[in-house]
């Protein structure tokens, strides 16, 4: 099985915390097959992903796109852009995993919460 990427909703964000611990259970993460993520991040939507405003490991470290092998914090203001990318990609993939990711992003948007991404 390919490596997976995990996405979860953060109940709160700590401004001075460095998120270095792998804690998918804490954020009720869902897993997405690494092959699907690779296709989206590096081929199909690379140009859109790298324009997305995120943070790598801390809100004090602005980033663009995803920390592929690390932890990415996705602020509420970037969730619509991320959702649009995943919805567009799911037209091609027709993946149950991406359906679940769409639900997770939509839930975070509704609640105005941050997403956390644990890379491979």
pLDDT of 47: 94
pLDDT by residue (tens digit) across 16-75?
A: 999 999 999 999 999 999 999 999 999 989 999 999 999 999 999 999 999 999 999 999
As a whole number of angstroms, the distance between CA 119 and CA 116 comes to: 10
pTM over 0.75: yes
| Strand order through the sheet with 114-118 | 30-33, 4-10, 114-118, 71-74, 53-56, 62-64
């Amino acid at each position: 099985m390919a490596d997976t990427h995990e996405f979860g909703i953060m109940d709160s964000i700590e401004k001075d915390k460095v998120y270095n611990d792998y804690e998918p259970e804490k954020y009720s993460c869902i897993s997405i097959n690494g092959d699907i993520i690779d296709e989206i991040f590096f081929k199909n939507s690379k140009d859109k992903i790298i324009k997305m405003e995120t943070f790598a490991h801390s809100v004090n470290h602005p980033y663009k796109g995803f920390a592929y092998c690390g932890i990415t914090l996705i602020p509420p203001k970037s969730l619509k852009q991320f959702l649009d990318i995943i919805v567009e990609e799911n037209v091609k993939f027709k993946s149950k995993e991406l359906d679940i990711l769409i639900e997770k992003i939509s839930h975070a948007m509704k609640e105005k919460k941050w997403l956390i991404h644990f890379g491979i």
